[in-house]
Amino acid sequence: MTAGVLARSARAASGLTQSQLAIRSGIAGSSLSLIEHGKREPTVATLEALLRATRHTIVTVPTVRSDAARIASEIGEAITRSDEVSAFRRFLQLADNLASERGATRVGLALSEPSPTGSERWDAAIAALCEYRLKADALPVPDWVTRQVGHPDSPWAPRTSDYDIPADPARVPVEFLRRGILIEAETLESI
């Protein structure tokens, strides 16, 4: 996760605007904007000030894998380009990342609340995936995950090609079904 994604995620999770965070942290609004958009790398002290102002802290997770917040950002970029296939590939990468880690490291990959992707359905799918992978090992589920309710009355499956086969609801994990996301468990397994 980049410092910009971390700062933006913490701000969003706290419900603050950039202006409010700038005032609380003592960091200039223009600097905050540059940091959040990846145009400027903050010092550790600046990042700590931003996080303190949002009541967050830095936690180091021993992994080289991208976390949910970073992948959500990449999914958002793909959505902006109307590239559903890339969005789905990034989603599957998150599935692999979470499956590859155990214990606290797996929790760490799901700990930071992602910024919205621009699609409530993708946001719900990311939350469902994190919940699915964490519950598989009886690990704690972050609050942001349970707040993502999706659209259970309007089921959705990501479109990845012209040859997509509709998901069988009997094969969709409950964490996805209750959010209206139709992705079969088998799809989430590494190849």
pLDDT at 144: 92
Q: Of 114, 120, 189, 111, whose CA–CA distance to 153 is shortest? A: 120
Residue 156 backbone dihedrals phi, psi, to 5 degrees: -140, 140
Q: Are residues 85 and 172 in the same domain?
A: yes
The continuous run of DSSP H or E covering 176 comes out as helix 174-177
User: Looking at residue 46, which CATH number applies to its domain?
Assistant: 1.10.260.40
Q: Are residues 11 and 94 in the same domain?
A: no
Q: Are residues 111 and 158 in the same domain?
A: yes
61 or 173, greater pLDDT? 173
Q: What is the pLDDT of residues 72-125, one digit of tens each?
A: 999 999 999 999 999 999 999 999 999 999 999 999 999 888 989 999 999 999
Asked, for residue 176, whether it belongs to a domain, the answer is yes
Asked, for residue 62, whether it belongs to a domain, the answer is no
pLDDT at 150: 86
pLDDT range class, residue 191, cuts 50, 70, 90: low
Angle of helix 44-53 versus helix 18-25 axis, rounded to 10:
110
Q: Are residues 156 and 106 in the same domain?
A: yes
Residue 118 is part of which domain span? Answer: 68-188
Q: What is the pLDDT of residues 26-35, one digit of tens each?
A: 999 999 999 9
Q: Record the pTM.
A: 0.74
pLDDT at 1: 61
Return d(Cα 76, Cα 183) in angstroms, integer. 19
Q: Are residues 83 and 49 in the same domain?
A: no
Asked, for residue 80, whether it belongs to a domain, the answer is yes
The average pLDDT across 39-54 equals 90
Q: How many domains, in total, are found in the chain?
A: 2
Q: Are residues 46 and 100 in the same domain?
A: no
Q: Are residues 91 and 153 in the same domain?
A: yes
The average pLDDT across 154-168 equals 87
pLDDT at 59 over 90: no
Each residue of 13-52: b (16+ CB within 10 Å) or e?
bbebebeebbebbebeeebbeebbeeeeebeeebbebbbe
Q: Are residues 123 and 182 in the same domain?
A: yes
Least confident of 34-43, 51-60, 138-147, 163-172: 51-60
pLDDT at 131: 97
Q: Are residues 79 and 165 in the same domain?
A: yes
Asked, for residue 58, whether it belongs to a domain, the answer is no
Q: Are residues 165 and 78 in the same domain?
A: yes
Asked, for residue 135, whether it belongs to a domain, the answer is yes
